[in-house]
Amino acid sequence: MKLINKISIRFLGVVLLLTPVCVIISYNSIRNKIDNTQIARMKTMNDNVAQLLKEGKISDNYTLGKPIQITKLNSSLPSQKVEIINGSRNQKDVDKKGCLLTVNSFYNINGSTYKITSYNYTTNESQIFWGMMYGMTWKLLLIIIAIIIMARIMSKKMFAPFRESIHTLSSFNLKNRQKIQLPKSNIKELQELNSFIQNMTNKAVEDYNRAREFSENASHELQTPLAVMRTKMELLAETNITEEQAALIADMQNAIEKLSSINRSLVLLSKLDNHEFSTQEQIKFCRITRSVLSMYEDWISLKELCVSTKLDSNIILNIHPSLAEILVANLVSNAIRHNIDGGKLDIVLTNKMLRICNTGEPLDIPHDDIFRRFKKGNQSSDGIGLGLSIVQQICNKTNFFVNYNYINQQHTFSVYFDKNYREENVVISEEKTVAAEA
């Protein structure tokens, strides 16, 4: 829900809650004002009639048919000289004319007690109430219409800087290495928000530049001494050395190669974290899968693996070519490395998923840790523990999903390209894993 709509609804809610209270207050105020005005007017009228009666200027014929009645009493003057009665002598008159208001005033005139009565029909209470409700209903409708119209007009003007800030922020890209320029506003809250966003993005750009510069420098500075060490070891291996020295040199060369592989993997992870790979290129994933398999043919033959492939054609995916090759290569090399001699390697590729299964020993670590950095399923293996972490990172950047399970002495890695297909198959694979463990 938009902010302006939420504010309008809250404001209308307050208006709807306060309106009945205002109607009741106004109704009581108007009714009392009408009654008090009529009572004061009739009291004055009774006083004038009493004065005329004292002067002998009024007779019964004069008041006949008028809303004034003069009655001579045989009793003494009562303590309450004014009596107010709300009621009617004839209920039909009330229904036709309204509520009858009667004022009785008592006077001592020339030694005699007189009661002067005046009455008048006032507006019925229900008529006042429903009249007010009718007027208030129209006012509410006008208020609602005015709020809706004014909210739309004001939102376009008042929230224009906010929308510009959102648009600028949505187009912000760390790879451009440029600081954003937010529009100016005379609203204090928007000024504070823009100031916070400006500082946050500037800090992000600076951190990104430092991280990228560090990774580039670290990669370059590490590769140089590694290359020197590799060259020196090759030269040393060509000299007259003993068998024991040759074994030590071989171990050192393996350690150098492993260190070089770690360096390349960490640099790749850093680039993935910094979003340095575009994922807007459509490629044939089946072609890359076949290319990776041909690259590992010698290793597969060395371990005498039985390979079964089922690769659909024309599998078009939206992924960077380098990331696609690294993704498949890491999964295939992992399946070969942790396979047993003479084991099985099954690879299935459809437009929904890539599945790689291999025989092998169970993991030495929990299944949830297999994609963590420097975590290896078999601690005695010669892997560096970064390949599967890179796989998961690539899947996160390309909106794929990778899943692992171990069933019937087979490791299975599944990369799902379709979200709905993924959710269905993950549930099924988890159920199979639980059943197998049971």
- Residue 34's contacts (CB-CB under 8 Å, 6 or more residues apart) are 122, 123, 128
Q: Could you tell me if 76 and 95 lie in one domain?
A: yes
Supply the CATH number for residue 248's domain. Answer: 1.10.287
C-alpha distance across the termini of the chain, in Å = 48
Question: Quick check: is 147 in a domain?
Answer: no
- Residue 307's contacts (CB-CB under 8 Å, 6 or more residues apart) are 293, 300, 344, 345, 346, 347
Question: Quick check: is 167 in a domain?
Answer: no
Q: Could you tell me if 380 and 299 lie in one domain?
A: yes
End residue of a domain, out of 204, 238, 269:
269
Question: Quick check: is 239 in a domain?
Answer: yes
190 and 162 Cβ atoms separated by less than 8 Å: yes
End residue of a domain, out of 269, 303, 334:
269
Q: DSSP code of 245?
A: H
Question: Quick check: is 174 in a domain?
Answer: no
pTM for the full predicted model: 0.50
What is the per-residue pLDDT for 348? 92
Q: Could you tell me if 317 and 220 lie in one domain?
A: no
CA distance 202 to 209: 11
End residue of a domain, out of 269, 296, 326:
269
Q: What is the 3-state secondary structure (H, E, C) of 4-46?
A: HHHHHHHHHHHHHHHHHHHHHHHHHHHHHHHHHHHHHHHHHHH
Q: State CA 11 to chain mean position distance.
A: 22
Retrieve residue 326's tokens.
Answer: 């690294």
What is the per-residue pLDDT for 85? 81
- Residue 37's contacts (CB-CB under 8 Å, 6 or more residues apart) are none
> Residues 403, 408, 409, CA angle at the centre, nearest 5°?
85
Question: Quick check: is 178 in a domain?
Answer: no
Number of folded domains in the chain? 3
Q: Could you tell me if 381 and 324 lie in one domain?
A: yes
What is the per-residue pLDDT for 435? 47
Question: Quick check: is 335 in a domain?
Answer: yes
Q: Could you tell me if 263 and 361 lie in one domain?
A: no
What is the per-residue pLDDT for 356? 92
Residue with tokens 């379709």: 418
Domain that residue 70 falls in: 1-139
Question: Quick check: is 102 in a domain?
Answer: yes
Q: Could you tell me if 207 and 133 lie in one domain?
A: no
Nearest to 353 by CA among 312, 296, 393: 312
Question: What stretch of H or E contains 417?
Answer: none
Q: Could you tell me if 62 and 107 lie in one domain?
A: yes
Q: Could you tell me if 134 and 195 lie in one domain?
A: no
Q: DSSP code of 174?
A: G
Spans in the chain with pLDDT lower than 70? 1, 3, 58-67, 87-98, 124, 175, 177, 218-221, 261-262, 265, 269, 272-280, 367, 373-385, 420-438
pLDDT tens digit sequence for 40-98: 888 888 888 888 888 777 655 445 445 688 888 888 888 888 888 876 555 455 445 56
- Within 159-187, residue ranges assigned H as helices are 160-170
Q: Could you tell me if 248 and 290 lie in one domain?
A: no
Nearest to 352 by CA among 430, 428, 432, 419: 419
Q: Could you tell me if 249 and 300 lie in one domain?
A: no
What is the per-residue pLDDT for 355? 93
Nearest to 309 by CA among 321, 298, 297, 324: 297
**In which order are the strands placed within the sheet that holds 306-311?**
306-311, 344-349, 353-359, 410-416, 401-407
Residue with tokens 């599967």: 388
Burial 192-214 (b: 16+ CB within 10 A, else e): ebbeebeeebeeebeebeeebee
Supply the CATH number for residue 341's domain. Answer: 3.30.565.10
Q: Could you tell me if 222 and 296 lie in one domain?
A: no
Question: Quick check: is 171 in a domain?
Answer: no
pLDDT tens digit sequence for 344-383: 999 999 988 899 999 988 877 776 777 876 665 554 455 5
The phi and psi torsions of 401 (rounded to 5 degrees) equal -140, 125
What is the per-residue pLDDT for 167? 82
What is the per-residue pLDDT for 354? 92
Q: Could you tell me if 249 and 306 lie in one domain?
A: no
